[in-house]
Amino acid sequence: MIRIILFLFTNLAVMLMFGLILNLTKIDTNSLYSLVIISGLLGFSGSLISLFMSKWIALYSVQGKIIKNPNNKTEQWLINTIHYYSNKIGINIPEIAIFPAEDINAFATGFGKNSSLIAVSSGLLNKMNINEAEAVLAHEISHISNGDMITMTLIQGVINSIVIFFSRLFANIIAMNFFNNKEDTDNNQITITYIIISTILDIIFGIIANIIVLWFSRNREFYADAGSAKLVGKYNMIAALEKLKMSSEPEEPKNITTLCIHGKNTSILQLFRSHPSLEQRITALYNEQYM
């Protein structure tokens, strides 16, 4: 129920923003070209803002702490290892953080290769051996090297724009046709009907769009695993994934587990999972499918 209410408020906010932009820019609302412009602006704005704020949001969500000066040998090893593999693969040194969690996990985020962050859980540092931990770090560095943060933002922006465009286009067509032959119709009735229809279409198109985004999300995990295998050896990466199978359920918030090497796959249907199963990833490495 809470998610539905939040979605309705979000849709209302989009509609208000939509109207504000139209008023400020004096764009003709009846023009398809205008609708394309507005859909693009709204579709990409949220994704880009999230990307720019991703490091702050991620650290706040997991209560992570950036390590600037190592306090012990483990932190020194973590910094040295990330520096080594970052230099080896040819990217700028990411910021490094540790967050408190019993599960074995890590994630990379940030605005591109030159402004990235790698965060690891305390559980990873306590429960993995050096080879396994190096494989996980190489996996996250591969995400950065592959430009996955930018790629997912662009994909999300394009998908958002398409959803906004078609939901508003069809809502406008349906609303206008519905009241076409009714002389006593006022603009308020048309507007309310338009908002209701566009909200319903947002839900339907949003589900379809989410399937597409999650497909890309699953595929990027395969390629990051392959990138790690090239850096540290496929058997070390396989060993790391095997260790993840024995780890406790990820404790990180949902918005963070999508980024993590070990994600929550609570959905029964593969289509709605952000990560492939660990068994699929291990099999792909054995078969060298993405290498």
The DSSP letter of residue 170 is: H
Question: Residue 143: what residue type?
Answer: H
- Judged by DSSP in three states, 287 sits in helix
Task: Read off the tokens for 74.
Answer: 């483990």
Token pair 């809502």 in the structure block, residue: 171
- pTM, 2 dp: 0.82
Cα separations in angstroms, 288 against 226, 234, 235, 276: 8, 9, 11, 16
Percentages of the chain per state (helix, strand, coil), in multiples of 5: 70, 5, 25
Interatomic CA distance for residues 180 and 161, integer angstroms: 28
Q: Given this model, what pLDDT does residue 47 score?
A: 76
| Catalytic status, residue 288 | no
Q: Tell me which DSSP letter residue 92 carries.
A: P
Give SS3 for 263: coil
Q: How far is CA 219 from CA 106, 236, 244, 245, 288, in A?
A: 18, 20, 18, 19, 14
What is the side-by-side strand order in the sheet with 65-66? 65-66, 95-99, 116-121, 106-110
* 291 residues of the chain, pLDDT tens digit each: 444 444 445 545 555 555 555 555 544 555 666 777 777 777 777 777 778 888 888 889 899 999 988 999 999 999 999 999 999 999 999 999 999 999 999 999 988 888 899 999 999 999 999 999 999 999 999 999 998 888 888 888 888 888 888 888 888 788 777 766 655 556 667 677 778 888 888 888 888 888 888 899 899 999 999 999 999 999 999 999 999 988 877 878 877 888 888 877 666 667 788 889 999 999 999 998 887
**Hey, which bits of 79-215 come out as E strands?**
95-99, 106-110, 116-121
Query: Are the C-beta atoms of residues 103 and 247 closer than 8 Å to each other?
Result: yes
Catalytic residue from among 95, 140, 221, 252: 140
Q: Give the gyration radius of the chain's Cα atoms.
A: 22
